[in-house]
Amino acid sequence: AKELGKNNFQFYSEALNTNSLERLSLESSLRSALEHNEFRLYYQPKRRMSNGEVTGMEALLRWEHPELGLVLPMQFIPLAEENGLIIPLGRWVFKTACQQNVTWQQQGYPPLTIAINLSARQFIDEHLLDDIKLALKETGMDPRLLEVEITESMVMRDLQQTIQILQSLKQMGVRVAIDDFGTGYSSLSNLKQFSVDTIKIDGSFIQDIVRSQEDQGLTEAIIAVGRSLGLTVVAEGVENSDQFEFLRRHFCDEFQGFYGNEPLTAEDFAQVVWKQANQ
Ligand code: C2E
Ligand code: CA
Ligand code: CA
Ligand code: CA
């Protein structure tokens, strides 16, 4: 039994060492990834429920790691939040997304809004507004084509600060979406005060919507709130026609998800959204 315990301990500590080593190497390669140009943006179309028309897109970050391949944000954004790298990385995202959007317009495609995700640390960063202004100025993108997505939990931290930031964004002409709506605790009066443009129903409500009466009720309630405040309501994570039909019947405005398109590279986006539509 003693022998076994020892072995177990050895396994355990080896596992721990591997994890902290992995973390260390992930952290250092994350730091150099920006210099080595290893980040990519994918673009997922947002479509109008009534006619399937593309109304805009969300930029989604990927890390093309030389050995690991494509790494999803879940695996590196929390780390980048912790060590502050999210700030320069976020700047790269603004700039790259705006540049891509301008390039598409220069190529003759119709203008579409582009949504960019902000994490908590970015949202309260004192240079946020300057960073966004700079990206718009450097690329020449129309601010009205930019939407920032912030989560419910982020806006509830400091109400006065949130109202101030959101007002400044509005003054610049930038649109604001509340992401993962329904998972946080923002009250209706807050929503009104924030003067946001869009709410995005969290994908977790959509997943079982065909079976779960609870999720159906919550989704209907969110749509009703959005409509009464005059906001655009977007459902995310829509994967099949049953989910789509439920949302359409209940007057959700727009949807995003694999049922429409998965996140696409810039080349695939142009191919799928514009070229196929004209064929
Ligand atoms: P999110 O903003 O809630 O993004 C939606 C996530 O759902 C994306 O995951 C997207 O790829 C995925 N998705 C889209 N359609 C479907 C579907 O039909 N079914 C399912 N199951 N999933 C779908 P992704 O790209 O892995 O991003 C995860 C999170 O990482 C995002 O959640 C967002 O919070 C964050 N993130 C992504 N890009 C950025 C960025 O540039 N900056 C910051 N700060 N955060 C980002
Ligand atoms: Ca989002
Ligand atoms: Ca979301
Ligand atoms: Ca989410």
Q: Would you put residue 199 in left (φ > 0), alpha (ψ -120 to 50) or beta?
A: beta
Measured in Å, residue 58 CA sits from the centre of ligand 3 at 10
Distance of alpha carbon 184 from alpha carbon 152, whole angstroms: 5
45 lines ligand 1 (CB under 6 A): no
**pLDDT tens per residue, range 191-227:** 888 889 999 999 999 999 999 999 999 999 999 999 9
Q: Cα angle at 275 between 177 and 94, to 5 degrees? A: 35
Pocket test for ligand 1, best of 44, 124, 236 (most atoms within 8 A of CB): 236
pLDDT value of position 187: 73
Strands, E assignment, 37-145: 39-48, 54-65, 69-71, 113-117
The residue with greater pLDDT, 194 or 51, is 51
Distance of alpha carbon 173 from alpha carbon 145, whole angstroms: 9
For the CA of 200, the nearest ligand: 3
Tokens coding 37: 């140009």
182 lines ligand 1 (CB under 6 A): no
Q: In ligand 1, which atom is closest to the CA atom of 61?
A: 38
The pLDDT confidence band at residue 190, using thresholds 50, 70 and 90, is confident
Q: In ligand 1, which atom is closest to the CA atom of 116?
A: 41
Give mean pLDDT, residues 78-107.
97
